[in-house]
A and B are shown apart, each in its own frame.
Chain A
């Protein structure tokens, strides 16, 4: 179970250190605050899971946001009905997201290529539309599912008052609306980040094992030539379904962590744009690599939260070393790309990356590293970041 090649161990240890030291690494970029760090870990996990399906098998799902939503809703319901402890919430979310993934995957995987993509998209959009409107008694619609104080008035519905059966049985006292915890340790703020970070590292390790296992090899075989696999008498669909369910569970886990660190669940998490976002994260970072998707997630979340905040005042201050006229010009030019123009930067980034670095950011790193190595070392370098068979 723990047998891995030296390179894989190095990658795992390096990754773990990088994740745990993220507060220090993000400090120079102004990104050292709990919410961004949590989002990096959560979306990193989501992207890792997505990559198990897309990176290994090549099946492009446009509906994974549905599992994020399911995970979030299940977690909040677990907080509302059972206990504020994060563990049951996470477990239930993963299991139920897995069930959803099984059902949607079972149907969608009857088709391949873009037909598969559209089927997953259709299921996710149906989940989103219904959660926003008709399913409001379960999802609280536009406002989102939130935690409430304990029910004192029996007339109140479960949306407006919680019962927390387990906590009540254990005799835990509550004042106003409680926050989720991990056996007493709160799961917001930096504590929440480390909670997510540990799960991310575990998730990374599992993904590494899957990639390097026989099962992973099978998935890669599906990607390279499914016909040939069929000719050898192997049915690809059970493997595909397993990959789909695993990646759906990762998404459910990510959704659950979103609810654990910030207890609210809204339908827009299931919209196709959210599914599209994880596709972009994966491609941006590097499809099929283990670290790439996490990196892509980091870049997109950083752009969304930080680049969008650089308003004209901040830009002007930043360029204050320039002469007045030039400062105004530079500031007004740069502000096209940041602040409210951050979408433009994101669009340009997608284009530049995919045009010049087809393998995503990871290919960029490989090329840079390659420059510093002797030419005949290139092959080993290009393999170090990608997955290698175990033995």
Chain B
């Protein structure tokens, strides 16, 4: 609608008075939404510009959501100050304090890790708080739902933690951008490392969370490990939030498989991994080989919940605080000094997304989604902790190195859960944009 950020008395009376006339004059409202002299949705008119941070604050992912919010606050601080943290190591030097001469403010919303709630809070931020963009999220279902909404509403969506292929594959949208990696890259990066660690003749047993992300993850791991000579004994679907996974673990013992792949995330990952280790799988010998457990997508925050059970277990992650490049060090330092503990990968990706968005707006000289999008497309940058990175124009997906990690045997602190085993270079995880299907479609700048 028109200028929702500063609702004027006049506007209110107008909408109210229209109540009776609404049906008889159908285009009255379309008319009002044209008014206001905006050239795109929520064009900032004052000294400020508002970002919308949409993260889970209640429910199972609320710790991740909290960490994302911390990172966003830090990012806003750095953007407004024109320096600090990874902004100093970022290869683009466009940001000099504020964005396009405006101070960044932010509003927050609770996604509850539910698509409906996430769309509702995103709409609130767009319709009521005048947010110029939406960013955040901690699951793929939510990310895809909010991305679709932002496309319809005409604002940019900078995805948070979402790992499903579909976000920048089948369900990609012109207004949506993702920095986080995906299951395809996990498969490509993880499979060779697994082969090196466990040998080329292995039989894998998959337990897969029974929803889109789980299937996508299972498919990628299967594809790449089978390409390297592994066999797949079975792939069993488990209900989301099953709690006790024991009845899915016991069949593994008799299946003849010698690797267990847990395509679970969050609480399911913590529970299934704990169960698997307690059933003695990690100490077992099958076909004369040590049994191995793999968790394709690791989250340090969640891995802490599995305690000692993660030791020696392989997986992949988007970023880890123990990396020693300048960007990561600067980020860990600024985050750690402010909050007293190291940031998670969720915090890292959301921080990057906020910085990348602000930088693109500055380089484009406007907040107009189509032009900001053009500034992000094909944008090559460095210094944000992942090495040289590119926002691919064809699918709005970042391509960068992927970290293969494993649970640390002798952690020195409670944050020191994972160690980086290998940094798989970007060239090895890159795929053709057509592989995952979908259409970006045109940019939407909103009801102009």
Within 8 A of B (CB), among A188-203: 188-191, 194, 198
Given contacts A24-B12, A133-B239, A311-B108, contact A144 B115 (CB under 8 A): yes
Nearest-neighbour CB distance to chain B for A104, whole angstroms, equals: 22
Whether A190 contacts B1 by the Cβ 8 Å rule is yes
Within 8 A of B (CB), among A294-347: 304-306, 308-309, 311, 339-340, 342-343
Within 8 A of B (CB), among A126-142: 129, 132-133, 136, 141-142
Whether A35 contacts B15 by the Cβ 8 Å rule is no
Cβ-based interface call for B144 (8 A): yes
B-side contacts of A142, CB under 8 Å: 140-141, 211-213
Within 8 A of A (CB), among B7-34: 7, 12-13, 15-16, 18-20, 22-23, 26-27, 29-30, 33
B-side contacts of A146, CB under 8 Å: 148, 171
* CB 8 Å contact bits of B415-447 with A (1 = contact, 0 = none): 000000000000000000000010101100000
Given contacts A133-B210, A146-B148, contact A340 B66 (CB under 8 A): yes
Given contacts A189-B1, A189-B29, A343-B58, contact A143 B145 (CB under 8 A): yes
Main SS at interface, chain B: helix
Cβ-based interface call for B62 (8 A): yes
B-side contacts of A194, CB under 8 Å: 19, 22-23
User: Measured between alpha carbons, how far is A198 from B21 in the docked complex, in Å?
Assistant: 12
- Which of A2-10, A53-61, A264-272, A348-356 lies at the interface with chain B? A264-272
Whether B127 contacts A35 by the Cβ 8 Å rule is yes
User: Measured between alpha carbons, how far is A308 from B123 in the docked complex, in Å?
Assistant: 14
Which residue of chain B has its CB nearest to the CB of A20? B19
Given contacts A194-B19, A309-B121, contact A30 B12 (CB under 8 A): no
A-side contacts of B22, CB under 8 Å: 191, 194
Report how many residues on chain A are interfacial, defined by Cβ distance under 8 Å. 53
Given contacts A27-B7, A143-B141, A160-B170, contact A306 B124 (CB under 8 A): yes
Cβ-based interface call for B166 (8 A): yes
Chain B CB within 10 A, most for which of A31, A176, A340: A340
Whether B441 contacts A149 by the Cβ 8 Å rule is yes
Cβ-based interface call for B109 (8 A): yes
Whether A269 contacts B116 by the Cβ 8 Å rule is yes
Nearest-neighbour CB distance to chain B for A99, whole angstroms, equals: 24
B-side contacts of A191, CB under 8 Å: 22, 26, 29-30
Which residue of chain A has its CB nearest to the CB of B167? A143
Cβ-based interface call for B39 (8 A): no
User: Measured between alpha carbons, how far is A45 from B15 in the docked complex, in Å?
Assistant: 22
Cβ-based interface call for A34 (8 A): yes
Cβ-based interface call for B117 (8 A): yes
Whether A189 contacts B58 by the Cβ 8 Å rule is no
Q: Which of A23, A144, A304 contacts B120 (CB 8 A)?
A: A304
Q: Which of B4, B29, B110, B213 contacts A308 (CB 8 A)?
A: B110
Which residue of chain B has its CB nearest to the CB of A264? B145
Q: Which of B57, B124, B125 contacts A339 (CB 8 A)?
A: B57
A-side contacts of B19, CB under 8 Å: 20-21, 23, 194
Nearest-neighbour CB distance to chain B for A13, whole angstroms, equals: 13
Cβ-based interface call for B240 (8 A): yes
User: Measured between alpha carbons, how far is A185 from B59 in the docked complex, in Å?
Assistant: 38
User: Measured between alpha carbons, how far is A38 from B127 in the docked complex, in Å?
Assistant: 12
B-side contacts of A258, CB under 8 Å: 116
User: Measured between alpha carbons, how far is A309 from B212 in the docked complex, in Å?
Assistant: 29
B-side contacts of A309, CB under 8 Å: 107-110, 121, 124-125, 129
Whether B148 contacts A264 by the Cβ 8 Å rule is yes
Nearest-neighbour CB distance to chain A for B438, whole angstroms, equals: 8
Q: Which of B110, B120, B148 contacts A39 (CB 8 A)?
A: B120
Cβ-based interface call for B322 (8 A): no
A-side contacts of B144, CB under 8 Å: 143-144
Cβ-based interface call for B178 (8 A): no
Cβ-based interface call for B38 (8 A): no
Whether A264 contacts B119 by the Cβ 8 Å rule is yes
Within 8 A of A (CB), among B208-226: 210-213
Cβ-based interface call for A32 (8 A): yes
B-side contacts of A311, CB under 8 Å: 69, 107-108
User: Measured between alpha carbons, how far is A188 from B117 in the docked complex, in Å?
Assistant: 17
Whether A144 contacts B145 by the Cβ 8 Å rule is yes
Whether B124 contacts A190 by the Cβ 8 Å rule is no
User: Measured between alpha carbons, how far is A340 from B110 in the docked complex, in Å?
Assistant: 7
* CB 8 Å contact bits of B121-139 with A (1 = contact, 0 = none): 1011101110000000000
Whether A24 contacts B16 by the Cβ 8 Å rule is yes
Within 8 A of A (CB), among B70-111: 107-110
Cβ-based interface call for B152 (8 A): yes
Whether A132 contacts B57 by the Cβ 8 Å rule is no
Whether A21 contacts B441 by the Cβ 8 Å rule is no
Cβ-based interface call for B231 (8 A): no
User: Measured between alpha carbons, how far is A305 from B123 in the docked complex, in Å?
Assistant: 10
Given contacts A27-B7, A160-B170, A342-B110, contact A176 B23 (CB under 8 A): no
Whether B439 contacts A149 by the Cβ 8 Å rule is yes
Cβ-based interface call for B114 (8 A): yes
User: Measured between alpha carbons, how far is A100 from B128 in the docked complex, in Å?
Assistant: 37
B-side contacts of A342, CB under 8 Å: 58, 110
Given contacts A194-B23, A340-B62, contact A34 B211 (CB under 8 A): no
User: Measured between alpha carbons, how far is A323 from B356 in the docked complex, in Å?
Assistant: 38
Given contacts A129-B239, A308-B57, contact A266 B115 (CB under 8 A): yes
User: Measured between alpha carbons, how far is A230 from B372 in the docked complex, in Å?
Assistant: 71
Whether A144 contacts B121 by the Cβ 8 Å rule is no
Which residue of chain A has its CB nearest to the CB of B15? A23
Whether B116 contacts A143 by the Cβ 8 Å rule is no
User: Measured between alpha carbons, how far is A213 from B107 in the docked complex, in Å?
Assistant: 49
* CB 8 Å contact bits of A274-312 with B (1 = contact, 0 = none): 000000000000000000000000000000111011010
User: Measured between alpha carbons, how far is A40 from B257 in the docked complex, in Å?
Assistant: 53
Nearest-neighbour CB distance to chain B for A121, whole angstroms, equals: 16
* CB 8 Å contact bits of B217-251 with A (1 = contact, 0 = none): 00000000000000000000101100000000000
Q: Which of A20, A30, A177, A179 contacts B128 (CB 8 A)?
A: A30
Nearest-neighbour CB distance to chain A for B35, whole angstroms, equals: 13
Which residue of chain B has its CB nearest to the CB of A129? B239
Chain A CB within 10 A, most for which of B16, B119, B129: B16
Whether A340 contacts B57 by the Cβ 8 Å rule is yes
Cβ-based interface call for A115 (8 A): no
Nearest-neighbour CB distance to chain A for B115, whole angstroms, equals: 4
User: Measured between alpha carbons, how far is A119 from B439 in the docked complex, in Å?
Assistant: 44
Chosen A-B contacts, 7 in total, with CB atoms closer than 8 Å, are A24-B15, A133-B210, A142-B212, A194-B23, A268-B116, A269-B116, A339-B57
Could you list 12 further interchain pairs (A-B, Cβ under 8 angstroms) beyond the known A308-B121, A311-B108? A35-B123, A132-B211, A133-B211, A136-B212, A141-B211, A142-B140, A142-B141, A144-B141, A194-B23, A266-B116, A340-B57, A343-B58
The 4 A-B pairs at the shortest CB distance, nearest first, are namely: A340-B57, A33-B128, A35-B123, A142-B211
